[in-house]
Amino acid sequence: MKLKRPRIITILGLFIIAIAYSPGFGDETTIGPEIPEEDTGPMAFALKFFSKTVSRADGRRCMMYPSCSHYSGQAFKKHGFIKGWVMTCDRLLRCGHDEIHISEQIIVGNQTYIFDPVQRNDFWWSRP
């Protein structure tokens, strides 16, 4: 039993590293709409912390527009915690893969991004 604990910690550690270095979690606060200041929920706090602290340290790596953290903030704001959380997970799974070949490109500054806002993922059940 004692031998198994380090294995779990290794798996978890690898998972956290994979998530942290997945294309979706790179971010930059200067691009895309900011997470609204009036949001005071725990998720908004976590996203603000991520945008202002983690993202500034490791730079933007997300190739989607809006970036995954902004997308997440918008999804939480628009649909509440449960749907926002599900949409965030969906976006993290899709970020930087097949969406590149499906969605249109958008140029922001000198960079090209894949345009994938919340309304392109909830149009089939939510009115703007």
Footprint on this chain of another protein (rule: CB under 8 A): 1, 4-5, 7-8, 11-12, 15, 85-94, 97-99, 102, 120-124
Q: Is the CB of 31 or the CB of 54 nearer to another protein? A: 54
C-beta of residue 119 within 8 angstroms of C-beta of residue 77: no
Sequence-separated (6 or more) residues with CB below 8 Å from residue 50: 25, 27, 69
Instruction: Output the smallest distance, CB 12 to another protein, in A.
Output: 6
Q: State the amino acid at position 127 in one-letter form.
A: R
Count of other CB atoms within 10 angstroms of residue 91: 23
Instruction: Output the smallest distance, CB 93 to another protein, in A.
Output: 5
Q: Is the CB of 46 or the CB of 92 nearer to another protein? A: 92
